Chain A
Amino acid sequence: MEACSEPPLDAKSEVTNQLVDFQWKLGMAVSSDTCRSLKYPYVAVMLKVADHSGQVKTKCFEMTIPQFQPLLLATSSLLSASNFYRQFKEIAAVIETV
């Protein structure tokens, strides 16, 4: 029995985590002590992630709308790539059995 997966190339973190929970809110920054007229919408995200040992950590971050778009696009591309990979492998597997 063999199991193979390529090690992450160029990954800057040593550990990959599983996503346990994804919460979000859309906020509007109105004003602050340094800027009376901020007026920008932002997306705040709270992730719960579990490492290999099962330990769960919370990660919070914020994005402006222009920063959110690439995340949406990347996830969409990720899905397409996953689909493509799976279909490709299925075809290859079928061909092998012929």
Chain B
Amino acid sequence: MAAGEFEGGKPLNGLLNALAQDTFHGHPGITEELLRSQLYPEVPPEEFRPFLAKMRGILKSIASADMDFNQLEAFLTAQTKKQGGITSDQAAVISKFWKSHKTKIRESLMNQSRWNSGLRGLSWRVDGKSQSRHSAQIHTPVAIIELELGKYGQESEFLCLEFDEVKVNQILKTLSEVEESISTLISQPN
């Protein structure tokens, strides 16, 4: 099987998209046969399978190493020189694909490696509690935060928390300490 049988361009881009959906973004279900018939109908299945595996391997290597553009070019150039490697056309398509999808793939990898729940969303509200005893009026604001939490691939769980002002102040102080830690970490050279 010559690498040149497989054109680059749109079919390869489509293939890489499908591979990314399956491998990183948690959307399996696109079968090998569907891909072949849609993108490379002239290629027989027994030739398509190793080609698909090769592309998947290349994409995984690039994502796993979180390659920057220099590393990417070096890696792909090496692949073009290999026996049974890729064409320079294919290398160009892969390079373009990684550059435009890198951030999204990285985000999916981060989500996959988080085994705790993640914070998917939050909303908040301030309610007013009014009590009147005789003529005295006491007005207490009640803060409500709703956190949307969820593990990778699972449905969200909602956690509703109620605070008075004192508590909100305490939490804000704690969160400021977290932010200070973050700033310290980011400003340190690694």
Cα A43 to Cα B180 in complex, Å, equals 12
Does B149 make an interface contact (CB < 8 A)? Answer: yes
Contact residue among A5, A8, A32, A59 (Cβ-Cβ distance under 8 Å from B113): A32
Residues of chain B lying within 8 A (CB to CB) of residue A42: 114
A78 touches B127 (CB 8 A): no
A-B pair count, CB < 8 Å, reads: 175
Does A98 make an interface contact (CB < 8 A)? Answer: no
A90 touches B139 (CB 8 A): yes
A35 touches B131 (CB 8 A): no
Least Cβ–Cβ distance between A54 and chain B, in angstroms: 14
B179 touches A72 (CB 8 A): yes
Does B144 make an interface contact (CB < 8 A)? Answer: yes
Quick one: which of A1-45 are within 8 Å of B by CB?
Answer: 1-6, 8-9, 11-13, 15-19, 22, 24, 26, 28-29, 32, 34-44
A13 touches B160 (CB 8 A): yes
**15 additional contacts, CB 8 Å, given A12-B148, A17-B160, A72-B175?**
A2-B130, A8-B160, A17-B159, A18-B163, A22-B174, A32-B109, A35-B113, A44-B116, A49-B159, A61-B118, A61-B149, A74-B124, A79-B169, A85-B139, A86-B139
A-B contact pairs, 10 of them (CB 8 A): A4-B129, A17-B162, A28-B185, A34-B112, A36-B65, A60-B116, A61-B116, A61-B147, A71-B175, A89-B130
Interface, chain B (partner A; CB < 8 A): 63-66, 109-110, 112-114, 116-119, 122, 124-133, 137, 139-149, 158-163, 165, 167-169, 171-172, 174-176, 178-179, 181-182, 185-186
